[in-house]
Amino acid sequence: MRTTSFLVSSVAVLACLGAPDVAHALVSQPSSGAWPRSLERAAPESVNMSSAALRGATLALEDAIADGEINGAVLLVARHGRVVLHEARGERDGFNERWPEMPSPPMPRDGIFDLESMTKPFTVFLAMRMQESGQFPGFNVDNPVVKYFPEFADASSPEKSLVTLRDLMRYASGEDIDAGGIVGADDRWHTMLTAPLLYTPAQKVLYSDLGFRILGHALEEVGGGSLQSLMKEHIFDPLDMSSTSYRPKVHMPAKCDRFVGTAWSSARERYLRGEVQDETDYDIEQNTGNGQHNHLTGCDGLFSTAEDLAKFAQVLLNRGVHVRGLDLLCNPILSLCPGERVLSRHAVRSMTTLQTGDLGLPTPAATFAQNLFYSGKGYGWEMYDPGAWPGGDHTSTVAYSKTGGAGTLLVIDPDPARDLMIILLTNHGLPGYDQLGLDENQMCYWHDFDAMIEDIRAEEVSDAVNLSLMDVP
């Protein structure tokens, strides 16, 4: 009788808190960690990982700091819902070219990092949540962009009217990597929306910040608010991500001592902490909006911690279910915790599996930049690549990753035998653009990006973590 009344009261409590409209079903979660999993701290050996081998991951970061390639980092590793490593190394702030000897406190384990392009999977997650919520009638990721922005159409390029939001999500829209003339334009969104396509949609893959800026702008148009308010309502609050935000200096000022610095900005004449480093995104944040909210971009701009990112990653590993963990909604006597479905299993699978098919991709990638620009994509993610891939050589073939240009990486491996996440956050700062161009085959190269991936020890960290798995051949 007590069991029944507890479960009924738990349902009632969640209903009062406003469970998502995606699916109201609750999942009873054994606190022992059976699927779907909550995140709890545990020793590596409890999930068949070698503590000694796992130490290789932190040693790689210590070497990077000692060699002066980064100033500090936070690393979090979780398997089967157990956080087996969450450590900080070095100093909070990255290199300051104006004041090289700038003092900096130790890196906090809950440091709030500039995620740059790791924003993109959140934009996709928001799009899928909005589609499934029922709150936005008629919204569908297969809708054409011109439905929301008629100026996107181009009479000289009829195929532009066929570009869908889904094309933007999978980097196959025909949009260039970016558009020129955005910063300082009289109408920045008009400049982006009217930029010509670089190629026929759905003919190849090309990584595009421009495409994700337009995607995020469409979500703001549909949702009637900024990406900050929409993500807070549909992602951050439901997943208890209390230290994740756009423009943290504005939205989380009380946490400023945890903001991780990235670089000196000559354009802004100051060292950047709590401000997106990408100058185009910063310009858009500061200079577009309707007076009620600033427009934000779907490609860059989010800041977060390793712990908050782990909550996001665990929902993906849980195939769309968020489990709160041991809080007031759990019954420790019965060892039950309620899980709440925030996204359908189908949506998670679509986001995190290959969505570009065979579009003439160079596989395996010869460089990290080639992997970024042309590799097989999910929605917002780079899929496993047997060539140059930040996820290293020892993940399963269903793993996927996202790199943030300022020196961050998230690798998720949903293979049930691995069920693993690796979150690497550093204060490296954006790579330069001196060695960015086209080679003799008209393919983009970006040697500065390749060097950044090497500087943060992405492959070494991921390989060390994967080689610590004692029950995987």
**Encoding tokens for residue 207?**
């990584």
Instruction: Using pLDDT thresholds of 50, 70 and 90, give the confidence band for residue 29.
Output: very low
The three-state secondary structure class of 240 is coil
Burial class (CB in 10 A: 0-12, 13-18, 19+), 52: exposed
Phi, psi of 74 (to 5 degrees): -125, 135
- Write the pLDDT tens digit of every residue in 402-423: 999 999 999 999 999 999 999 9
Q: Among the listed ranges 32-36, 61-65, 228-232, 243-247, which one has the minimum average pLDDT value?
A: 32-36
Residue 392's identity, in one-letter code, is: G
Give dist(CA 338, CA 433) in Å, integer. 48
pLDDT score at 441: 87
**Contact call for residues 258 and 108 (beta carbons, < 8 A):** yes
- d(Cα 142, Cα 218) in Å, to the nearest integer? 13
Q: For residue 358, what pLDDT is reported?
A: 84
CB 288 within 8 A of CB 296: no
User: Is the pLDDT at 462 greater than 70, yes or no?
Assistant: yes
Nearest-5° Cα angle at 309, 30 to 39: 15
Residue 173 token pair: 């829209």
User: How confident is the model over 321-362, as pLDDT tens digits?
Assistant: 999 764 444 554 445 567 899 999 999 999 999 999 988 777
DSSP string covering 191-218, please?
Answer: HHHTPPPSS-TTS-----HHHHHHHHHH
Q: How high does pLDDT run on average in the chain?
A: 90
Tokens of 239: 């997943």
pLDDT of residue 294: 85
Eight-state DSSP code of residue 233: I
- What value, to the nearest 5°, has the Cα angle with vertex 268 and ends 266 and 273? 100
**CA–CA separation, 201 and 356 (whole Å):** 12
**CB contact at 8 A, 450 and 442:** no
Given a contact cutoff of 8 angstroms between Cβ atoms, the answer to whether 110 and 305 are in contact is yes
Compute the distance between CA of residue 246 and CA of residue 265 in angstroms, rounded to an integer: 19
What is the dihedral sign for C-alpha 221, 224, 226, 230? negative
Domain ranges of the chain: 2-122+230-467
User: 178: which 2 tokens?
Assistant: 């970016």
Prediction pTM value: 0.92
Q: Is the pLDDT of residue 366 over 70?
A: yes
Report the pLDDT value the prediction gives residue 383, as an integer from 0 to 100: 96
The sign of the torsion formed by the CA atoms of 15, 19, 20, 25 equals negative
Task: Burial-class residue 11 by CB neighbours within 10 Å (0-12, 13-18, 19+).
Answer: middle
Residue 412, beta-bridge partner list: 400, 421
- Cα–Cα distance measured from residue 222 to residue 240, given in angstroms and rounded to the nearest whole number: 24
- Asked whether 124 and 382 are in contact (CB, 8 A), the reply is no
What is the predicted pLDDT for the residue at 5?
33
DSSP state at residue 341 = E
Per-residue pLDDT tens for 84-137?
A: 999 999 999 999 999 999 999 999 999 999 999 999 999 999 999 999 999 999
CA pair distance 56, 49, nearest whole angstrom: 12
SS3 74: strand
Structure tokens at 121: 């999977």
What pLDDT does 337 receive? 62
Q: What are the phi and psi torsion angles at 422 (to 5°)?
A: -130, 120
Residue type, 7: L
pLDDT at position 378: 97
Architecture field, domain 2-122+230-467: 3-Layer(aba) Sandwich (3.40)
Enter the DSSP assignment of 377.
B
Check residue 19 and give its pLDDT. 37
What does residue 380 show for φ and ψ, rounded to 5 degrees? 90, -10
Q: With beta carbons less than 8 A apart as the criterion, state whether 64 and 455 touch.
A: yes
Q: Are 418 and 396 in contact (CB under 8 A)?
A: yes
SS3 433: coil
* Beta partners for residue 259, in sequence order: 112
